[in-house]
């Protein structure tokens, strides 16, 4: 009892304090300029050709309250704020009740925000939780209530709230979900839509129909309790069979909203952009999106992955010179999952980690011909813990192989030996230099990709190889203007030299071994199936774990990174390992379709020489060799008759065994 007395006193004090603050703010608001509220979510996104691919709160889709179904209006009011027409922006009794319930339960189980407060929140680009933001939202709430009628506020709210799948406003949502205007929505349709804004990713009927129906049932019950509809009307509406359209009027792409979300996330991080829509009255955002490329990649993905499969994918195509992201797939269908796997997921990268290792090796005295013995190996360290990595399918040459062969077969033994010889810091140092910020554990298995890294991050890391040594920051936005054309932000190319261009050139050529028939010997190159399909020259590395499959490849024009796997980390089946490779080669080939065969490849630096070698061993080629391949070396490091063998022997002898 003593506790509850103290609690009541505390709540009374809080209430009095809030009322005093409210009166003071009210006076201040009267003296301040009017807030423009019909610009919330007034955003236009343009692709690289200057064509609009997304528009929020377009004037033609703004509908008056008279042209919105009364079922929508009633459902919204009694679900979100039944005292809307009675309060002045804040429902103090509701606030007190919510405080009491939340304190008793020890957690936030009930909210108390009004429609006006929610509308005020929608005037901001982001929903950061700071005291300043709370203060700004409170000020805007009071200002809105002071400047506009209740009908104007409700109309604005219904025209700007998020109904999921990129649909802002009731008219856009009504046309998207049901193919009709908002004035024509019946009770069942109105209540299913009203339930979405609370959590669009959870209550969209296109994502989770059962959750949407439960939410609809709660809304119908509220309407019954408040004598808006009868119990029979409620039951009939709940039982009504709903037919969803789920399409926009324009050329439909189910994946472009992943790009939209990435753009909006980047926008929030730009300091020069005002944080309130009311300060800018709309935005024009010019992006790097190549609409035709995005469309093609989506079609390729749908063609390669069976419709009934639950496997997911992420694809990034990025300009390595600028860091501009030209296409992005964050999942197979935004309608069913808004989680952006390209920007937000962390996955095991497998052998796509190895190029960072091999660059470090080339930088520390290794050459294209440097060899280790391919054989089953157990390493025993000072702590006496054995480590026994295995090659794919347990295939070993039982002979010395070159770095080119190790890359072609994605040899794990060669990679671990290289990693242990250099020391773990060498690989990590290169990864950090090219922009990998994810956690990397200095363990023997690091080059085999046991750590988790983001897909966009990996694409950015490979861009440093693609542009011969420069780190670039991936970005989606090129320019932002206000509605009058004033430039608020313009992206600047920030290239930082982090790698040696000559060594990078050598590595890039080694990465073509993954589909080169000259490396067919005791094993096959990992992407040999692409040899006859590629019309251009690319560096390529795949990565395979039990749960993840990657293909990342590039030339000087484009980096294409593809990941395939399950959200719940279930194991991939053998037939699913082909998806990433097929999506990769078809996507990058489409990008390069108008270029000549070698137009995207690199010129040999002046301090690099080309030497004919026997590719499997890496030794100098002789007349008796059936296979001879041109490999690249920094001048002065070309293999001679026995110098390379001495180096390789020295390296082998200092490895733990």
Structure tokens at 78: 């009694």
- Estimate the crossing angle of helix 354-363 against helix 455-466, to 10 degrees: 30
Task: Collect all residues with Cβ–Cβ distance below 8 Å to 251 and sequence separation of at least 6.
Answer: 295
Of these residues, 61, 69, 80, 369, which one is catalytic?
80
If one counts every other C-beta atom within 10 angstroms of the C-beta of residue 644, the result is: 23
Tokens 């926008």, located at residue: 267
Between CA 230 and CA 221 the distance in angstroms is 10
Structure tokens at 447: 């080059």
- Residue 246 three-state SS: coil
Residue 433 vs residues 426, 430, 438, 462, 470: alpha-carbon distances, Å: 11, 5, 12, 11, 9
CA 438 and chain centroid, separation: 15
Residue 559 sits at φ, ψ, to 5 deg, of -115, 130
Of these residues, 204, 234, 351, 502, which one is catalytic?
351
351 is known as an active-site residue:
yes
If one counts every other C-beta atom within 10 angstroms of the C-beta of residue 291, the result is: 19
- Residue 553 three-state SS: strand
Structure tokens at 372: 């280790």
Between CA 119 and CA 57 the distance in angstroms is 14
Q: What is the DSSP letter of 133?
A: H
Phi-psi region for residue 618, left (φ > 0), alpha (ψ -120 to 50) or beta? left
Residue 547 sits at φ, ψ, to 5 deg, of -115, -10
Taking the alpha carbons of 432, 434, 438, 444 in that order, is the dihedral positive or negative? negative
Type and span of the H or E element at 646? helix 643-653
Q: In b/e form, how buried is each residue of 319-357, taking b as 16+ CB within 10 angstroms?
A: bbbbbbbbbbbbbbbbbebbebbbbbbebbbbbbbbbbb
80 is known as an active-site residue:
yes
Burial class of 97 by CB neighbour count within 10 A (0 to 12, 13 to 18, 19+): middle
- Bridge partners for 543 per DSSP: 550
Between CA 359 and CA 502 the distance in angstroms is 11
Phi-psi region for residue 443, left (φ > 0), alpha (ψ -120 to 50) or beta? beta
Structure tokens at 3: 């506790």
Enzyme catalytic residues: 80, 351
């Amino acid at each position: 009892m003593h506790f509850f007395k103290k609690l009541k006193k505390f709540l009374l004090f809080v209430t009095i304090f809030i009322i005093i603050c409210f009166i003071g703010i009210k006076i201040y608001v009267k003296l301040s300029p009017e807030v423009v509220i019909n610009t919330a979510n007034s955003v236009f996104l343009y692709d690289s050709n200057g064509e609009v691919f997304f528009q929020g709160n377009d004037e033609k889709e703004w509908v008056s309250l008279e042209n919105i179904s009364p079922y929508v209006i009633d459902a919204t009011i009694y679900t979100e704020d039944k005292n809307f027409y009675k309060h002045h922006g804040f429902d103090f009794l509701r606030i007190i009740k919510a405080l009491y319930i939340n304190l008793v339960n020890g957690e936030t189980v009930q909210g108390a925000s009004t429609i006006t407060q929610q509308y005020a929140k929608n005037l901001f680009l982001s929903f950061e939780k700071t005291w300043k933001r709370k203060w700004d939202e409170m000020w805007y709430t009071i200002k809105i209530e002071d400047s506009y009628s209740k009908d104007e506020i409700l109309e604005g709210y219904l025209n700007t709230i998020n109904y999921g799948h990129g649909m802002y406003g009731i008219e856009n949502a009504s046309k998207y979900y049901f193919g009709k205007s908002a004035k024509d929505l019946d009770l069942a349709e109105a209540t299913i839509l009203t339930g979405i804004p609370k959590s669009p990713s959870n209550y969209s009927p296109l994502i989770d129909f059962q959750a949407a129906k439960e939410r609809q049932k709660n809304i119908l019950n509220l309407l019954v309790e408040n004598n808006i509809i009868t119990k029979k009307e409620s039951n009939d509406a709940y039982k009504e069979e709903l037919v969803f359209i789920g399409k926009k009027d324009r050329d439909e792409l189910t994946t472009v909203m992943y790009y939209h979300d990435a753009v909006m996330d980047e926008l929030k991080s730009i300091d020069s952009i005002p944080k309130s829509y009311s300060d800018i009255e709309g935005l024009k955002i010019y992006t790097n999106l190549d609409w035709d490329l995005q469309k093609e990649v989506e079609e390729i993905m749908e063609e390669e992955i069976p419709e009934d499969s639950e496997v997911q994918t992420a694809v990034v195509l990025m300009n390595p010179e600028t860091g501009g992201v030209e296409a992005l797939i964050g999942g197979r269908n935004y309608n069913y999952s808004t989680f952006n796997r390209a920007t937000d997921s962390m996955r095991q990268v497998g052998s796509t980690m190895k190029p960072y290792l091999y660059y470090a090796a080339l930088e520390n005295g290794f050459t294209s011909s440097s060899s280790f013995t391919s054989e089953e190996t157990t390493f025993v360290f000072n702590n006496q813990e054995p480590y026994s990595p295995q090659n794919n399918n347990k295939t070993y040459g039982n002979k010395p192989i070159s770095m080119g062969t190790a890359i072609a077969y994605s040899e794990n033994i060669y990679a671990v030996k290289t990693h242990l010889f250099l020391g773990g810091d060498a690989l990590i140092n290169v990864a950090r230099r090219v922009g990998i910020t994810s956690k990397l554990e200095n363990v023997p298995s690091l080059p085999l990709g046991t750590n988790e890294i983001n897909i966009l991050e990996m694409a950015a890391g490979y861009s440093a190889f693609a542009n011969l040594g420069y780190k670039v920051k991936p970005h989606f936005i090129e320019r932002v203007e206000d509605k009058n054309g004033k430039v608020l932000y313009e992206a600047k190319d920030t290239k930082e030299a982090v790698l040696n261009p000559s060594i990078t050139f050598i590595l890039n050529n080694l990465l073509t071994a993954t589909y080169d028939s000259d490396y067919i010997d005791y094993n096959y190159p990992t992407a040999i199936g692409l040899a006859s399909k590629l019309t251009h020259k690319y560096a390529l590395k795949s990565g395979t774990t039990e749960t993840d499959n990657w293909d990342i490849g590039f030339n000087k024009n484009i980096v294409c990174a593809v990941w395939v796997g399950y959200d719940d980390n279930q194991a991939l089946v053998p037939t699913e390992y082909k998806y990433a490779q097929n999506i990769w080669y078809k996507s990058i080939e489409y990008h390069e379709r108008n270029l000549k065969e070698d137009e995207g490849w690199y010129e040999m630096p002046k301090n690099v020489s080309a030497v004919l070698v026997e590719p499997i061993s890496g030794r100098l080629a002789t007349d008796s060799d059936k296979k001879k391949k041109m490999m690249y070396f920094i001048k002065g490091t070309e293999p001679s008759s026995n110098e390379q063998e001495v180096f390789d022997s020295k390296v082998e002898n200092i490895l733990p065994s």
